Structures are given as structure tokens and as C-alpha cells.
Amino acid sequence: MQRFGIGWSGGFDKILSTLWLSVVKPVLEILAFPICDSVESLPRIIWCPTGPLSFLPIHAAGLYDTTESGNKLSDFAISSYTTTLSALLDKPSTATPSPEFCGLLAVSQPNTPGLSTLPSTKQEIEQIKKHVDADKFVWLDGSAATKQTVLDQMVSINWLHLACHAVQHPEPPKSAFWLEDGGLEIGDIISTSHAHAEFAFLSACQTATGDDKLSEEAVHLAAALQLAGYRSVIATMWSIRDEDAPTVADEVYKHLMHGKVPDSTKAAAALHHATMRLQSETRPPGVLDDAWFLRWVPFIHIGV
């Protein structure tokens, strides 16, 4: 089962090798980044692609027909994206401590009216729940997750996790997350005050997919969450497999919640851990096909 969104057709290995040889490797050579043995030692690169490049998975660039270290971007750095340079400059840096954790709002929609079922969304939230203190965790599931209820909770809770269908609309303000009573639109989110917004995990499809007719503009759902105040967002470029979402969520929140205080500035590194785990657990023997790449490549981090 896939979470509703657009797909991808063919040739991942060629695309990622071309990105590596023509775009990413030359950048790394200029930066002189060394190969690192641990994720904790990896530096960050924040990519700000424009035009057609904004639709390509730069973060996954590499040669995957070899296990030799030093042939993939992930051997050298943790990748994030920014929708625009101004969006990055307007946000506090990763050196700035994460604001006080006010709680996490988790929303799951396993049986959205009129759409395909997503049975793993409840399992996904259960994985998150085990990492968060009970008094800081609000879970709206199924019929409890109405548009107004979610918006009301977002006002006072500064971490957000949405496990549901999503859809990109030709008119950007009408792009939406699908809840019990219909689409929670970008326009509704932006028009609501989110003074304490900090971190959002958009576990749905095409939450970071822009419009190919507006390739110089960031008009996707993840960009809308940044505009609403969330300085760190995990999103997806294409469809994800419903059964993979719990694995990614478990690994991400295990790292975000590690230590005395939850820290959203670790989100990029946490996602790096999660996608590496998913790669390892799902890698088929022999020749790699597009199905394997589609399991982990779509997940990206946006922001600081």
C-alpha cells in the first residue's frame, strides 16, 4: 500500500550516479570533506536547488553498484534542503538551542473517507509514542482528527507529526493533508497562528513536491509548514510505502528524543540514521532495482 501521491518512473541508479559525478562530487572536492566513520562526525550540507534540479534527489547522489566507501554523498555529509536562501537566513541556526519542547501532536488517518486505507499509520504513531513522555503526547486518530481539532492543537503544541494522505493542488493554497472531514489546506495552516512552531514530520506523499510549472518557487506542503513557522521539516518527494513509515518514524524519534531535552536541531541527522537503517534492512541481493531506491530516497529534511 502506498500513501497517495505521484510516482516515479525508472532509472534511479543512472540518475543518482549522474548527480554524483556531475554535481555533488565536484562540490565535495572543493569543500574537501573527508569520509567520516560515524554519523555524529558528519558535517551538514544545506542544498538550495533551483529550476529542474529542485525535483532531483541530490541527497541520495552516489554510485550504488559498489560497496566501497567514498562513492556516495552520505559518506561525506548529512543533507538538508532549503526552499529559498531567505527561508534559511530567516531561521535560527543549528547552533541556536532548540526552543522548549511543548509537546508532540500526532495525527493518523488509517481509514480516510474516500481514499485507500493506510493500516500502518497507527503502528507508526505507536512507534513514536514509546519515545515521548505521555504528558507531552497528543494523538488524534481517525474520526478524532478533524480539520478544526488539528488546527486548534497546532496553536499550542510545537511539534507535529502527520501520518495521512496528502495531495498537491494546481492552486498551491489548496494543496492539503486529508483528514476525517476533508482536506486541511495550506491556506488554513498559514492563516492560523503558530507562535511556538518548531518541528514537523509530514509522513505522507508528495509533501515536498513542487510544481514543475513553477520550478523557481517553493509551493509544496513542506514549504507551507516553514512559512507557518516550523523551522525544521521532514517530508517526502514522492510516494512512500505505508509499511516503511513506522521504521523511519521509530528511528527518527529515537534520536530526536535522546538525552534530557528533545532537540529538533538533530532532525537531519536523525533522518540520516533512519534512511540508512531502511537501506540496510531492505537492500535486495544482487542487482538493485528502482523499487529499493523508492523505499528510502523520497525522505528529505528541509530547514535547520
Q: Residues 284-293: pLDDT tens digits?
A: 888 788 999 9
Maximum Cα–Cα distance for the chain, whole Å?
A: 53
Q: Which of 79, 65, 64, 68 is nearest to 24 (CA)?
A: 79
Question: Model's pTM, two decimal places?
Answer: 0.90
Residue 92: what pLDDT? 60
Residue 215: what pLDDT? 41
| Half-sphere exposure for 179 (CA within 13 Å, toward CB) | 21
Please give the backbone phi and psi of residue 269, each rounded to the nearest 5 degrees, phi first. Answer: -65, -40
In which domain, by residue range, is 235 found? 1-304
Residue 11: what pLDDT? 86
Please give the backbone phi and psi of residue 232, each rounded to the nearest 5 degrees, phi first. Answer: -135, 125
CATH assignment at residue 189: 3.40.50.1460
Residue 204: what pLDDT? 84
Instruction: Please list the pLDDT of the chain residue by residue as tens digits (304 residues).
Output: 555 444 444 589 999 999 999 999 999 999 999 998 889 899 999 999 988 898 999 999 999 998 899 999 999 999 999 988 887 776 665 555 567 899 999 999 999 988 889 999 999 999 999 999 999 999 999 999 999 999 999 999 999 999 999 988 888 888 899 999 999 998 999 888 776 899 999 998 756 655 555 444 445 888 888 888 899 999 999 888 999 999 999 999 999 998 888 999 999 999 999 999 999 999 988 878 899 999 999 999 999 8
Q: Name the 3-class secondary structure at 299.
A: strand
Residues in the chain, how many? Answer: 304
Residue 6: what pLDDT? 41
Per-residue model confidence as pLDDT tens digits over 110-168: 999 888 899 999 999 999 999 999 999 999 999 999 999 999 999 999 999 999 999 88
Look at the chain and report how many structural domains it folds into.
Answer: 1
